[in-house]
Structure formats: C-alpha cells, structure tokens
C-alpha cells in the first residue's frame, strides 16, 4: 500500500487510522517519511487529548484539532515535537477558557 501520490507539482501524503484519513500536500522535494511521522505525531496527540479520537471529536471540536495542529506546526515546519509539551499547552488553554467563562457568568 502506497501512502504517496504525485499530483501536478505537489506530493500528496496520507495515512489512515481506523475510519479517519489524514491528508497533506507537500513540495516535491520534501521528505515523505518525515511527513508521515508528523501525521502520526498529530494523531497521537489527538488520541491523548480526546481519548481515542474519532470523526465526531474532530467535527464537534475542530477548533481544538486546529489548535493542536498549530502547536505542532507553523508555516509547514515542525514547531514542537514533544507530545507532552503540546498537551500541556492545550490543557493550559482549556483552563484559561474555563476561568474566563466563569468570570463572564459573574
């Protein structure tokens, strides 16, 4: 099974996890294996955050999924490789949002 396709001037790289497909497009000279590893790292963080991520988690919490992706990548480059640090940042954001919501209710 091949996880790489070439389409025009882009390499399409994808990976399937259960019923979820994660797809990315990269430059032709980018490393496919590193891209697959980044996809895998993203799915691992999603699994830890959501507890076995599924399609509904991504549909109803897309903002969290994008935030996690933004913590991992900036401008297509790996920003943070540590799953622990990414999860810590997300937890801190969740706590700040909860505190803000409590203050608004007062």
What are the structural domain ranges in the chain? Answer: 4-105
Q: Show Cβ contacts of residue 71 under 8 Å, excluding neighbours closer than 6 positions.
A: 79, 80, 86, 89, 90
The three-state secondary structure class of 27 is: coil
Res 1: pLDDT: 63
Lowest mean pLDDT among 38-42, 62-66, 71-75: 71-75
Q: What are the backbone dihedrals phi and psi of residue 103, each rounded to the nearest 5 degrees, phi first? A: -65, -35
- Pull the structure tokens for residue 10: 């882009």
Q: Show Cβ contacts of residue 79 under 8 Å, excluding neighbours closer than 6 positions.
A: 71, 72, 73
The answer regarding whether domain 4-105 maps to CATH 3.30.450.60 reads yes
pLDDT, tens digit (0-9, with 9 covering 90-100), for 68-106: 999 888 877 788 878 899 899 999 988 998 888 888 887
Cβ–Cβ under 8 Å, residues 68 and 90: yes
Q: Across the chain, what does the average pLDDT equal? A: 89
- Pull the structure tokens for residue 14: 């994808």
């Amino acid at each position: 099974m091949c996880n790489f396709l070439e389409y025009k001037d882009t390499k399409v790289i994808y990976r399937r996890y259960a019923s979820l497909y994660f797809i990315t497009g990269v430059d032709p000279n980018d490393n496919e294996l590193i891209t697959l590893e980044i996809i895998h790292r993203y799915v691992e963080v999603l699994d830890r955050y959501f507890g076995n991520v599924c399609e509904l988690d991504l549909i109803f919490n897309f903002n969290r999924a994008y935030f996690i992706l933004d913590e991992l990548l900036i401008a297509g480059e790996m920003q943070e490789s540590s799953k622990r640090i990414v999860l810590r940042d997300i937890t801190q954001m969740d706590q700040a949002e909860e505190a803000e919501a409590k203050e608004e209710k007062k």
